[in-house]
Amino acid sequence: MTAPRLLGAFAPGTAPAASNPLLVLLPSLGTTTALWDGATDALRADARTAGLRVLRIDLPGHGASPAASEPFTIAELADAVLAVVDEAGGGAFHVAGVSLGGAVALELALAHPDRVLSLVMSCSGARIGAADGWRDRAAAVRSSGTASLVTGSASRWFAPGFLDRDATGAGARALAALVDVDDESYARCTEALAGFDRTGDLAALAVPVLAVSGEHDAVTAPASMQVLAGAIPGARHVSLADASHLAVLEQPQRAAELIADHVAVAERAAAASVVHDRGMRVRRSVLGDAHVDRAIAATTPETAVFQEFLTRYAWGEVWERPALSRRERSIATLASLTTGGHHGEIAMHVRAALRNGLTRDEIAEVLLHTALYAGLPASNEAFAIAREVFAEADAPDGDAASGSDASEADASEASDPND
């Protein structure tokens, strides 16, 4: 079955660079992307997200999206969102959704974890309401149209008194837009919700998650949103005062602040992950898999932070800088270790120097030159260590590139497993 075609539009404002982070915003059942107008304006004004690309996507038969005549699932809606994102440039993105939009966002994060950088679920859930209730809603809309839902939606969507004090008219416009939603598409959306249940999969979520609820929401109450957050590793729940089911419309500034903070934290974490992965690749390339595997295996809770520090900053940043080749960095490292008398590290970096392209004669020249400035005893000790490494490599079962000698584990790994 082909997923329904969804249309998306970039939010108003100057389009940021295509390389900037992307935030996808999904509305709730019966509303359009206008639901996000206030929050989008606030995000544009927030220094943390001023350069954020924002893509808002309507549900089938809502706003700019075409009507749907065939059944579809939440999973198919998620795939359709991905298709729109790919048309807009693709790549990984942050996603936030309200109610049905939040369910689609959750499905995206579970089914496509490589594409979702962070997730915000506002007044939503892994299962929303009861299946029979959604089927009854579908039958009512097919019989009487979405106009019959306006009165009930006004009481569900907004906190007491909101429509009276809403100077922007956003609430009234949302109710007017409900009348224009295609009846059959609305019914198909409710039937998709009737078949949606991801409660058993929440523990598998591996992206940063923020759950936002409205104080007066009876559909996805704050208590249920807290349960949702509690089932997701590391998730956070915030309840907005004086708001109900359309909390992002009622409290756009506060919602935008929460989203901006969440996205900024996720961006920093993603950047750190990139540097860590790069550092691990360089570390393994220079020191060898056997050495790095032993160091990681020896990690304790007390040394884990230092492991991360070494991988990210030493290997992911300094060793990866282009001004010096790895060969040149090996020369500097051997000279520095010899000067500092760090004998437990020298064997490891003699092996690394060989792996980085230095010959034995060149290593000897480095140690000889270092003797002029570090002193004869320091270089004498370094020469002795280098000689042992060369002898290991010359042994019938030796492998200078592997760093697998037990003496290295004793001298370096056991005393400091974090190199």
The answer on pLDDT for 397 being more than 80 is: no
Rounded CA separation 329/331 (Å): 5
Separation CA 259–CA 360 (nearest Å): 56
CATH number of 324-413: 1.20.1290.10
Mean pLDDT score, 123-140: 97
pLDDT at 6: 53
> What is the CB neighbour count within 10 angstroms for residue 21?
21
Cα dihedral 35/36/38/41 (nearest 10): -150
Q: What is the mean pLDDT of residues 232-257?
A: 97
Q: How confident is the model at residue 1 (pLDDT cuts 50, 70, 90)?
A: very low
Tens of pLDDT, residues 247-294: 999 999 999 999 999 999 998 888 888 888 899 999 999 999 998 999
Joined together, the tokens standing for residue 218 give 């009876």
Helix axes 376-394, 326-340, angle to 10 degrees: 130
Strand partners, 56: 9, 25
Distance CA 389, CA 398 (A): 9
**Average pLDDT estimate for 353-379:** 95
Residue-wise pLDDT for 148-162, tens only, equals 999 999 999 999 999
Q: How far apart are CA 217 and CA 244, in angstroms?
A: 4
pLDDT at 11 over 70: no
Q: What is the pLDDT of residue 199?
A: 97
Q: Which helix (H) or strand (E) holds 74?
A: helix 74-87
Q: Which amino acid is at 387?
A: R
Tell me which range, 184-188, 264-268, 308-312, 392-396, is most confidently predicted by mean pLDDT: 184-188
Q: Which residues contact 4 (CB under 8 A, 6 or more apart)?
A: 60, 65, 66, 68, 70, 72, 76, 77, 80
The 10s digit of each residue's pLDDT in 118-129 is 999 999 999 999
Q: What's the confidence (pLDDT) of residue 411?
A: 32
pLDDT of residue 259: 97
pLDDT at 226: 98
- Mean per-residue pLDDT, 360-389: 95
pLDDT of residue 268: 87
Task: Supply the DSSP string of 251-262, one letter for each residue.
Answer: SHHHHHHHHHHH
Specify the length of the chain in residues.
419
Under the phi-then-psi rule, with left for phi > 0, alpha for psi from -120 to 50, and beta for the rest, what region is 142?
A: alpha
pLDDT tens-digit series, residues 325-348: 999 999 999 999 999 999 999 999
Percent of the chain with pLDDT over 70: 90
pLDDT recorded at residue 90 = 85
In this structure, of 313-322, 334-343, 405-414, the range with the lowest mean pLDDT score is 405-414
Amino acid letter, residue 249? L
Q: Are 132 and 147 in contact (CB under 8 A)?
A: no
Cα–Cα–Cα angle for 278, 285, 324, nearest 5°? 75
Domain spans of the chain? 8-270, 324-413
Distance CA 373, CA 408 (A): 27
CATH of 8-270, one of 1.10.10.10, 3.40.50.1820, 3.40.50.300, 3.90.1150.10: 3.40.50.1820
**What mean pLDDT do residues 228-242 have?**
97
More confident residue, 412 or 57: 57
Across 32-102, the runs of DSSP E, i.e. the strands, are 53-57, 93-98
At residue 13, the pLDDT reads: 41
What is the mean pLDDT of the segment spanning 297-305? 90
Dmax over CA atoms of the chain, in Å, equals: 95
Mean residue pLDDT of the chain comes to: 89
Tokens of 4: 């329904």
Nearest 5°: the CA angle 381, 386, 392 is 130
Q: Which residues pair with 316 in a beta bridge?
A: none
Cα separation, 27 vs 383, in Å, equals: 69
Burial of 392 (C-beta count, 10 Å sphere; 0-12/13-18/19+): buried
Distance between the two ends of the chain, CA-based, in angstroms?
53
DSSP H/E element including 214? strand 209-214
* Exposure of 206 in the CB half-sphere (CA atoms within 13 A): 7
Tell me what percent of the residues of the chain surpass a pLDDT of 90.
79
Question: DSSP assignment, residue 51?
Answer: T
150's tokens? 């306006």
DSSP label at 116? Answer: E
5 pLDDT band, cuts 50/70/90, is: low
**What is the mean pLDDT of the segment spanning 221-228?**
97
